[in-house]
Structure 1
Amino acid sequence: MSLNTLDHRVFFSSVEPFCSLEEERFGSVLANIDVAYYRNRDIIMQRGQEPEYYYIIAKGMVEEIDEEENSSFYAVKDSFDAASLLQNRVRHQYIAAEETLCFVLKKEIFLQLIKSDAAFESYFLHNLSEKMNALLERDINKEMASFMATRVRDCVVHPPVVVSHDASIRDAVACMSQNKSDSLIVQFPDGGEGLVTNTDLREKVILPDLSYDTAIGTIVVKKLITIEESDFLFNALLLLIEHSIKRIIVQRDGKTVGVLEQIDLLSSISSKAHLTNMQIQQARTVDELKAASSDVVYLIKSLQQQGVKVRHITKLLGDLNTKIYKKLYELVAPPELIENSALIILGSEGRKEQTLRTDQDNALILRDGFEHPELRQITKDFTDALISFGFPECPGGVMVVNPYWCKSLAAFDSELRRWVSEPAGDNAMNFAILIDASFVAGDVALYEGLREAMHRYIRQDNLFFANFAKNALIFETPLSLFANFVTEKRGRSEELDIKKGAIFPIVHGVRSLALEHYCQHTNTIERIKELNDKGVLDTAFATELIESLSFLLSLRLNIHLQKYERGKVVDNYLNPKDLSNFERDLLRDVFKIVDRFKKYITHHFRINMVR
């Protein structure tokens, strides 16, 4: 590449954040760009001096040396050093690592862009959370952005129809009729509220022939599902799906101000998610359930294009998948088996962190002494149906069809005791799989009994915790001493596995802390929040871990969708060269946070003391 062939416009059209500038500002940048040449080992900027330019590498490589003499390297289309320009002082030393050409932009023009362009400014924010949000904002499909911007108060919220708890059913129904309402808010002397709907009147009054003079308060459902009017409509959708309800009580600062009906919410966002949920609930055969669950990839892609954060996508899909499991179990298992068992989902499904269906992880806890002659056939039918739905068979055999994961509570209890007393190899990982379990169907007491046993056996067992937590350190973080990405040398040349390198260490490290501190949540982000509330993780570090995991899950979702659409095997490998400069910069930041977390886990559990 020579000075004569450097096409400024083409080059900067693919350089962050210049490529996002409006045409007028973009043209101004091009008009003020100069080119600087440096020989190998020439000093470009010296620590402590006043900076004059912002540098973008056109050819060659630049070494950055910080105060502790640590080196990082920048290649073509990388840039430096915005922080020095903003602070008017060069923090690190920059040296040409080989013959190098740089585009240079004067400090005054760079600072003017920072002041006049919000997107340009946000690119250079050092707070990881703000950088993440800036990346999300850039990627949102503008035509769909209104979906996420809509608040509950922007939807049709019906004024509450309120009656006293001691009003007769006759008077309460008359009030509903007068106000043309399908529901009533019932107030109690202690300040509590309840809800009565047309369905309640049919099921609790008309069918049992209850006297209309009975007080309305006797048939009230007092557990209200509420949402603040300032909250997002998407969160209202999540509540509808999670609780299988048709209306939500809308509040303002904790006081009821109205009722949000399902039909009004759907007309506002036309959600495919809720349609899928309704089809799952209404399925009467395995084939109908298969049809209801067939559009999940479309749903994921739609939500991603609408700018929905990946943590919300996985939560929504986790809820839908749980309902699919529950409905399927009800379709293939007889009532006596359901009543004497607990179906649970494990791993990423149990944590509600799965996006595309990479595999299925599930187990069945049976009541002690209960046997069913058709159990093996029923569990085979269940597993085969899930495979036909698009849930691949688990390579490790963690499925109800495997007798090892389908046994009595006493048998699981015995295995747990053995895993804790011998916490090496598969035992530790089996325990990790089970600790992420979420209840799906059957008798929840069996699931709760399993969780109680887990905590009972590990209580005050420091050796177990150290052996359990050290699995977070199994895989090296794919970042070199010089902040370069470490990719595979064979097979997956120039690619790295973000699950092994970053997602797993965070998930398992957090899982270990959550187990130690009796956290109730299974989702990793919720566990981090709970650990922060308990004072185990400080707020700043907890925030970094949450944003890091969110970014990693978002990258993984992109990888999975791209590979799915190209008919490739859906795995966790990515090529850093396929990322934008901004994404590569963020990934480096995230890997550094992962390394810090590994050091914290090592120190906290004294892992160096175990062999």
Structure 2
Amino acid sequence: MSILDQRKLIESIHPFELLSPMTLDNLMKKIDIAYYPKNTLLISKNLPSIAFYIIIKGSVNEYIDEELHNVYGEGDSFDADALIYSKTEAKFTVDEDLICYEIKKEDFLLLLEDKRVQSYFLQDFVTRHQHLKDYEAQGDLTPFLMSKVSDMYLHKACVVEKNETIFNSLKKMKSLKAKVIIIKDEPYKILTDSDFIDKVLLAKVDTDASIGSISAKSLISIDINDFLFNALLLMTHHSVKRVVVMKDGEIAGILEQLDMLSYFANHSHLVVVQIDKASSVAELKNIQGDLRNLIAILHSKGVKARYITKLVSTLNEKIYAKVFDLCVEEGLKEKCALLVMGSEGRAEQALKTDQDNALIIEDGIDVSLFEEPMMKLNAALLEIGYPKCSGNVMVSNEFWRRNVDGYKTLIDSWIGNFSEENLQSLSIFLDAKCVCGNTALLVELQEYLQRVFSARDDVLAHMAKAVLNFETPLSLFSNFVLEKSH
């Protein structure tokens, strides 16, 4: 473990993150690494404590009156009380071979000169335990947010040429104990075990046929140095259980959703999973508190604003999709497309802004069928905490709830008359993003817009002119102008 890794581990243990950089630097020079085999007695009534222990690997049992009182594992520390009070009623025994950091008693006691560290360690057990719980609750998301894909175990990738036979491909898959086969093609394709059941076994395809003859999905991939939460969002967004990990343009392995969720099993604020599991609007409303905590934690950790907005926008899209799922009956879900627009459409959202949403309905479908579900959806979003749009740009407004041809007519009217209202509506719609339903409906309208724009080179000029009518709230020295005294 490098010096940097050692420092990160120490800083991750409360209350050592409160130490000044200079104090922490001095401490790192004095810390020792020790090894103790199983059954070693570290501390007891008759064996005074000589150090403060921080576990790197292994486990230690704490007994009081021969009854197991506590078990300490990786990242845990003990026993400050034995050092401070020079006595203990407990016995600490190594349960699994132990590798640990040791802070000598005299060095540990010097740390108590910091009032915050002193305050923590001199509290009674109950208060300290609650303090630690509160701290851990605040930092619960940190491993989730800061872990990299490279931190995870990657399964071996079974990669075959597209001309390889199905039989040989399956044989290689079995030898590698892989769950998927990746086909070398342009682009790469992927086949899962369920694909083989449906497309080979049940379809009675000859196993001497080439693996490339089976219709396969394109890869969903992520870079090995990317954040783990991006991998989870990618899986959730595409409804897949695994992603292919790339390193320097080459396949490095397979990241399984099950492994990732196990990695985060003890983190109760895994917001994405909570949204996915929510079965009511009330549950989604409760998740909003976790989302606010998430923003605060990210900000306090110095995460850049663009990463915060990216994550929060993705989570908001998941909330929209879940509300849509709860409010719209199954037979109508693929007959429409729910859009978010404005800052939500541009993925620039860090805090909840007012609703800017719309619904595209497939041509030939009765638009009135969607009135009640969209009223429910609007009410649900309000209950969760998304305010009404002051301009009434919402699915509850029938103006923003129409079929494809209806939107084409609307686009023509916007471009036929460049009024301030029409330009504003057009700019709102240009930011549209489909969060659930049939994405092809929005794609059709976007292609229509492109054709209209190509035929009218004055459209962008009119939009730019409208933008210039808004006064920039910055002074000559790039300060925000708060009053119109300039």
* TM bracket (short chain): 0.5 to 0.7
1:476 aligns with 2:471: yes
Give the C-alpha shift of residue 266 in structure 1: 4.5
Q: How does 1:172-183 map to 2 (within 5 A)?
A: 172-173=169-170, 175-183=172-180
- Within the candidate set 324, 333, 348, 1:353 is matched to 348
1:160 aligns with: 157
1:200 aligns with 2:226: no
Give distance in 1, aligned partners of 2:477 and 2:189.
61
**Alignment CA distance shift 1:282-1:476 (3 Å):** same
1:338 aligns with 2:333: yes
Give distance in 1, aligned partners of 2:344 and 2:262.
30
Q: Percent identity of the aligned residues?
A: 39
Measured against aligned partners, the alpha-carbon deviations of 1:521-542 in whole angstroms (never above 9, x if no partner) come to xxxxxxxxxxxxxxxxxxxxxx
**Alignment CA distance shift 1:267-1:483 (3 Å):** same
Give the C-alpha shift of residue 297 in structure 1: 1.5
Give distance in 2, aligned partners of 1:365 and 1:482.
45
- Within the candidate set 340, 361, 366, 2:361 is matched to 366
CA contact (8 A) 1:337 1:372 kept: no
1:451 aligns with: 446
Give distance in 2, aligned partners of 1:439 and 1:279.
22
Q: How does 1:406-485 map to 2 (within 5 A)?
A: 406-459=401-454, 461-481=456-476, 485=480
Give distance in 2, aligned partners of 1:326 and 1:144.
23
1:398 aligns with 2:419: no
* 1:437 alignment partner AA: A
Give the C-alpha shift of residue 465 in structure 1: 2.6
Give the C-alpha shift of residue 380 in structure 1: 0.6
Give the C-alpha shift of residue 289 in structure 1: 5.0
**Alignment CA distance shift 1:326-1:418 (3 Å):** same
Q: How does 1:467-506 map to 2 (within 5 A)?
A: 467-481=462-476, 485-488=480-483
Measured against aligned partners, the alpha-carbon deviations of 1:405-458 in whole angstroms (never above 9, x if no partner) come to 112222222222222222122111111100000122333332123223333333
- Within the candidate set 355, 366, 375, 2:370 is matched to 375
**Alignment CA distance shift 1:212-1:281 (3 Å):** farther
User: TM-score by structure 1 length?
Assistant: 0.50
Give distance in 2, aligned partners of 1:183 and 1:165.
14
Give the C-alpha shift of residue 281 in structure 1: 3.5
CA contact (8 A) 2:339 2:432 kept: yes
Give the C-alpha shift of residue 252 in structure 1: 2.8
* 1:244 alignment partner AA: S
3-state secondary structure, aligned to 2:449: helix
3-state secondary structure, aligned to 1:459: helix
**Alignment CA distance shift 1:421-1:282 (3 Å):** same
Give the C-alpha shift of residue 194 in structure 1: 2.9
Higher strand share: 2
3-state secondary structure, aligned to 1:196: strand
**Alignment CA distance shift 1:468-1:266 (3 Å):** same
Give the C-alpha shift of residue 143 in structure 1: 11
Give distance in 1, aligned partners of 2:457 and 2:327.
43
3-state secondary structure, aligned to 1:434: helix
2:6 aligns with: none
CA contact (8 A) 1:145 1:307 kept: no
Q: How does 1:75-154 map to 2 (within 5 A)?
A: 150-154=147-151
CA contact (8 A) 1:148 1:306 kept: no
* 1:253 alignment partner AA: D
**Alignment CA distance shift 1:177-1:286 (3 Å):** farther
Measured against aligned partners, the alpha-carbon deviations of 1:232-279 in whole angstroms (never above 9, x if no partner) come to 445434433432322221223322221122244455567979943334
Structure 1 residue runs of 5 or longer lacking an equivalent are: 1-19, 24-140, 491-495, 497-611
**Alignment CA distance shift 1:303-1:342 (3 Å):** same
3-state secondary structure, aligned to 2:411: helix
Structure 2 residue runs of 5 or longer lacking an equivalent are: 1-19, 24-137
User: TM-score by structure 2 length?
Assistant: 0.61
Superposed CA RMSD: 3.8
CA contact (8 A) 1:273 1:299 kept: no
CA contact (8 A) 2:141 2:267 kept: no
- Within the candidate set 229, 232, 240, 2:235 is matched to 240
RCO (CA 8 Å, sep 6+): is it higher in 1 or 2? 1
Give distance in 2, aligned partners of 1:197 and 1:448.
29
Deviates more, 1:212-221 or 1:459-468: 212-221
Give distance in 2, aligned partners of 1:166 and 1:268.
37
Give distance in 2, aligned partners of 1:276 and 1:201.
33
Give the C-alpha shift of residue 371 in structure 1: 1.1
2:85 aligns with: none
Give distance in 1, aligned partners of 2:280 and 2:198.
26
CA contact (8 A) 2:395 2:401 kept: yes
How many residue pairs align between the two structures?
Answer: 352
3-state secondary structure, aligned to 1:407: strand
